[in-house]
Chains A and B, each alone.
Chain A
């Protein structure tokens, strides 16, 4: 019998229908409701308590979502990858014309399709919420790109593990291993941040997806976040993906049914094996390069962003231009438009406090939001009271650490007032202990009492809002003595207070007024 030739299929690889079949039967479909529940309870609800800036919302899509997406995705991919071995279809499939790698790629593509769809769907939900509450900026896309590549890479790693070690337990083993890897990675990232702020530690852990955003409320607001870390993460994850794809292409050679050892022919011939080996080598090289460059990352103290010298574009260090929004009130209060929703509460809180010191030497003419790590200039030397979202004046705390509707209450407003008046009386000068001295504290407490705000019950506090390590001047006087002086000063008439302050505020700020000298 002469061989009757079948019509040859097109040379072009057309896997669409096979992929559609695999998508329909992917095990991921069954887990989508569970993924939605995890998303709602873990990520979405966390997002509702976020400071309403794009960067803060973007930190969730990889800092929260990607954790379980990668765990679930890698486990399910391992299950899918083990299918041929588990279902014992290896012999049957081995007799088909489609190359093993092409067949496996369609299964992997179906798994990755659902996981990426879940990731993008959840990202969309987060970004829609961000769009509703944010007042400035645009959605960051670099984290999304990292998330997509990381999701695909996790699926590829899981799938390859399943293809190489088919069995019922490979899925949970892979999922647990990925989770453990993430745990170790996030722990390393914490150490990296501690090192960055405290001095010296490896920055390689920045490659862990979900990181790359500075741990600051105002990230991406005053300075745009450079793509350095994201590029390194993409290079690392892309390298892992490439290497895994190469291993996947080689995997049929290692598991010919009934044959021990390696069969190059089973993997599709020498050319494909060579190509796969090159992919493995290229992927490992890319990941190693990313690891090396991540180790050179430095925290830019000016911008608060991570910079990787080999990848850094200095143009990204320039401040982002913006037009402040200001409240129309006697005391002018301005804010970055990203925090516009905080303007009215901040202005309302500052008006009575500013009125108490208006016209006095060194009293500010206006207040303006500053980059959070920039300490306000000393009172008396500037006409602008620069407050920040993470601490106002001498008072610490994350003032912008959540949505305004949730965090602004009487305590919050009083805190803003305390920050302003303490800054005014202690001049923001840092004395030996970093605390206001007893006289400054008594005067500030009296002024606060006049506008109905309580004296801070924190006792002596530092500029950063933490108790002093050693007793400072405030501790040299008892709380009762300070309270008595505050009552004494508060009992003066307003003109008498203003007259004394006009004459003595410079000395008060300089720490040259004792508690006994407070009238």
Chain B
């Protein structure tokens, strides 16, 4: 398993953002669904080694990120696209992706080819020399994806990756996720259940810091039988699971 979480908790002051999550994830595309404040981003940041857990154990790619050397090894094999991508406007697309390839300590001889390949995979080849300040929001999102995949990572973490992409780009990105999921573990945190349905082989739904559902997208769809909230079967399953979770919490 590339991700092994055991009873992981993360608190910020009195707020328990992630509450006793236990999860094992292998290769493939794994969807992380949930409403705002469910704890998806905090969980993803722990998987990205940005945040240490308050309690519980985390193992990534067979290593414990608490150790400095292991963390560096994990980070060399990690790709991460945060929810809000910060960027340097004066950098060109190629320079920005190269910058992250270097920070990920890729062997310098491999960097130029890897940068070119990553930019082509997100269909920004024609914009490689454009400065980031000149790009649209959707293009910047694709630059973020390019920097995440430039090191051919074994663990890829996408936080709202399709936000800002037009429908055609979203279709292309789902295909890219499926392709990446052939070899790596791809975790996609999103509000957009159609992304999950189209690209994920497995999905977890979080609410109030806990995983309240885990299974295949088809199983989530099945949970929505008879539930009326939602435009698509998957959305109805999503709403049904959340409603049940809230009833349990209220009870």
Interface residues of chain A, those whose CB is within 8 Å of chain B, are: 1, 3-4, 6-7, 9, 14, 17-18, 21, 24-25, 83-84, 87-99, 103, 256-260, 263, 265, 268-269, 271
Mark contacts of B102-118 with chain A using CB atoms, 8 A cut-off: 1 yes-contact digit, 0 otherwise.
11111110110000000
Q: Which residues of B contact A87 (CB under 8 A)?
A: 86-88
Q: Which residues of A contact B71 (CB under 8 A)?
A: 265
Nearest Cβ on chain A to B182's Cβ, whole angstroms: 11
Q: Are the C-beta atoms of B154 and A3 separated by less than 8 Å?
A: yes
Nearest first, the 10 A-B pairs at minimum CB distance are A89-B86, A96-B103, A88-B86, A269-B68, A97-B75, A95-B80, A97-B105, A1-B27, A87-B86, A98-B103
Q: Are the C-beta atoms of B2 and A21 separated by less than 8 Å?
A: no
Q: A6-B76, A95-B78 are in contact. List 19 more A-B contacts (CB 8 A).
A: A3-B154, A17-B108, A18-B102, A25-B95, A87-B87, A88-B86, A89-B86, A92-B80, A92-B147, A95-B48, A95-B49, A96-B75, A97-B73, A97-B103, A98-B105, A103-B103, A256-B51, A265-B68, A271-B68
12 residue pairs of the A-B complex, CB under 8 angstroms, read: A3-B154, A9-B106, A9-B107, A21-B98, A84-B86, A87-B86, A88-B84, A92-B85, A96-B104, A97-B103, A97-B104, A260-B13
Q: Give the residue name and chain of the B residue nearest to A98 (CB).
A: B103
Partner of B87, one of A7, A24, A89: A89
B134 touches A (CB below 8 Å): no
Interface residues of chain B, those whose CB is within 8 Å of chain A, are: 2, 12-13, 26-27, 42, 45, 48-52, 61-63, 66, 68, 71-73, 75-78, 80, 82, 84-88, 90-91, 95, 98-100, 102-108, 110-111, 147, 151-152, 154, 183-185
Using known A-B contacts A21-B99, A269-B68, determine if residue A94 contacts B84 with beta carbons closer than 8 Å.
no
Nearest Cβ on chain A to B101's Cβ, whole angstroms: 10
Using known A-B contacts A1-B27, A263-B52, A265-B52, determine if residue A6 contacts B103 with beta carbons closer than 8 Å.
no
Q: Which residues of B contact A90 (CB under 8 A)?
A: 86
Nearest Cβ on chain A to B151's Cβ, whole angstroms: 7
Q: Are the C-beta atoms of A91 and B99 separated by less than 8 Å?
A: no
Q: Are the C-beta atoms of B100 and A259 separated by less than 8 Å?
A: no
Q: Are the C-beta atoms of A91 and B48 separated by less than 8 Å?
A: yes
Q: Which residues of A contact B105 (CB under 8 A)?
A: 9, 96-98
Q: Give the residue name and chain of the A residue nearest to B91 (CB).
A: A25
Q: Which residues of B contact A18 (CB under 8 A)?
A: 99, 102-103
Nearest Cβ on chain B to A204's Cβ, whole angstroms: 42
Q: Which residues of A contact B86 (CB under 8 A)?
A: 84, 87-92
Nearest Cβ on chain B to A264's Cβ, whole angstroms: 10
Q: Give the residue name and chain of the B residue nearest to A29 (CB).
A: B90
A268 to B71, CA, bound (A): 10
A207 to B90, CA, bound (A): 39
Q: Which residues of A contact B85 (CB under 8 A)?
A: 92
Nearest Cβ on chain A to B92's Cβ, whole angstroms: 10
A257 to B45, CA, bound (A): 10
Q: Are the C-beta atoms of A258 and B45 separated by less than 8 Å?
A: yes
Best-buried of B61, B63, B80, B105 by chain A (most CB within 10 Å): B105
Nearest Cβ on chain A to B159's Cβ, whole angstroms: 9
Q: Are the C-beta atoms of A258 and B12 separated by less than 8 Å?
A: yes
Q: Are the C-beta atoms of B108 and A91 separated by less than 8 Å?
A: no
Partner of B88, one of A6, A7, A89, A98: A89
Nearest Cβ on chain A to B95's Cβ, whole angstroms: 6
Q: Are the C-beta atoms of A1 and B98 separated by less than 8 Å?
A: no
Q: Which residues of B contact A21 (CB under 8 A)?
A: 91, 95, 98-99, 102
Nearest Cβ on chain B to A368's Cβ, whole angstroms: 62
A263 to B52, CA, bound (A): 9
Q: Give the residue name and chain of the B residue nearest to A13 (CB).
A: B105
Q: Are the C-beta atoms of A93 and B103 separated by less than 8 Å?
A: yes
A249 to B2, CA, bound (A): 31
Nearest Cβ on chain A to B94's Cβ, whole angstroms: 11
Partner of B50, one of A14, A95, A260: A95
Best-buried of B2, B66, B80 by chain A (most CB within 10 Å): B80
Nearest Cβ on chain B to A240's Cβ, whole angstroms: 28
Partner of A25, one of B26, B88, B108: B88
A84 to B90, CA, bound (A): 14
A90 to B82, CA, bound (A): 10
Q: Are the C-beta atoms of A1 and B102 separated by less than 8 Å?
A: no
Using known A-B contacts A88-B86, A92-B82, determine if residue A6 contacts B77 with beta carbons closer than 8 Å.
yes
A259 to B13, CA, bound (A): 9
Q: Are the C-beta atoms of A17 and B52 separated by less than 8 Å?
A: no
Q: Which residues of B contact A24 (CB under 8 A)?
A: 95
Q: Which residues of B contact A1 (CB under 8 A)?
A: 2, 26-27, 154, 183-185
A54 to B92, CA, bound (A): 46
Partner of A258, one of B27, B51, B63, B66: B51
Nearest Cβ on chain A to B64's Cβ, whole angstroms: 12
Nearest Cβ on chain A to B112's Cβ, whole angstroms: 10
Q: Which residues of B contact A84 (CB under 8 A)?
A: 86
Q: Give the residue name and chain of the A residue nearest to B78 (CB).
A: A95
Q: Which residues of A contact B184 (CB under 8 A)?
A: 1
A7 to B151, CA, bound (A): 11
Q: Give the residue name and chain of the B residue nearest to A88 (CB).
A: B86
Nearest Cβ on chain B to A53's Cβ, whole angstroms: 45
Partner of A3, one of B62, B95, B107: B62
A14 to B108, CA, bound (A): 9
Q: Which residues of B contact A3 (CB under 8 A)?
A: 2, 61-63, 77, 154
Q: Give the residue name and chain of the B residue nearest to A24 (CB).
A: B95
Best-buried of A83, A89, A263 by chain B (most CB within 10 Å): A89
Q: Which residues of A contact B80 (CB under 8 A)?
A: 91-92, 95
A268 to B49, CA, bound (A): 12
Best-buried of A1, A17, A93 by chain B (most CB within 10 Å): A1
Q: Which residues of B contact A89 (CB under 8 A)?
A: 86-88
Nearest Cβ on chain B to A365's Cβ, whole angstroms: 72
A17 to B90, CA, bound (A): 17
Q: Which residues of A contact B51 (CB under 8 A)?
A: 256, 258-259
Nearest Cβ on chain B to A456's Cβ, whole angstroms: 65
Q: Are the C-beta atoms of B45 and A6 separated by less than 8 Å?
A: no
Nearest Cβ on chain B to A9's Cβ, whole angstroms: 5
Nearest Cβ on chain B to A313's Cβ, whole angstroms: 47
Q: Which residues of A contact B88 (CB under 8 A)?
A: 25, 83, 87, 89
Q: Which residues of B contact A4 (CB under 8 A)?
A: 154
Q: Which residues of A contact B84 (CB under 8 A)?
A: 88
Q: Are the C-beta atoms of B107 and A7 separated by less than 8 Å?
A: yes
